[in-house]
Amino acid sequence: MKRISLLLLTCLLAGRVLATGMGAEAMTQLSLERCRQLVAAGEILSMMELMERVEQLSGGQLLDSMLLQSDNDYIYELEVAGIDGVVRMYYVDARSGELLEF
């Protein structure tokens, strides 16, 4: 439980605006409180569901994550250490858990 809380805090530190590889579209990192509201409302996947998705994607370990918003889209950016030792970035639709391509 302590690990999940730590990952959630890491995931959702408030703050910055990020530019993505999708042209000029800007994505904003959401605060921890906003993430809690969205999870409680059933709008996005919980951290536990996200960690299960990481296991399905790579079999690896989640190193870092953040919740991003662009317009009405919510995206988890995940940094994952695969079982092969390679660190990869994944982008997952926070509502559906679908892997996104950037």
Q: Name the phi and psi angles at 74, rounded to 5.
A: -120, 130
CA distances from 81 to 2, 19, 32 (A): 20, 23, 24
Residue-wise pLDDT tens digits, 54-68: 788 788 888 988 999
Segments making up each domain of the chain, as ranges: 2-100
pLDDT tens, residue by residue, 63-96: 988 999 988 899 999 999 988 999 999 999 999 9
Burial of 75 (0-12, 13-18, 19+ CB in 10 A): buried
pLDDT band at 24 (very low <50, low <70, confident <90, very high): very low
pTM over 0.75: no
Rounded distance between C-alpha atoms, residue 75 and residue 93, angstroms: 5
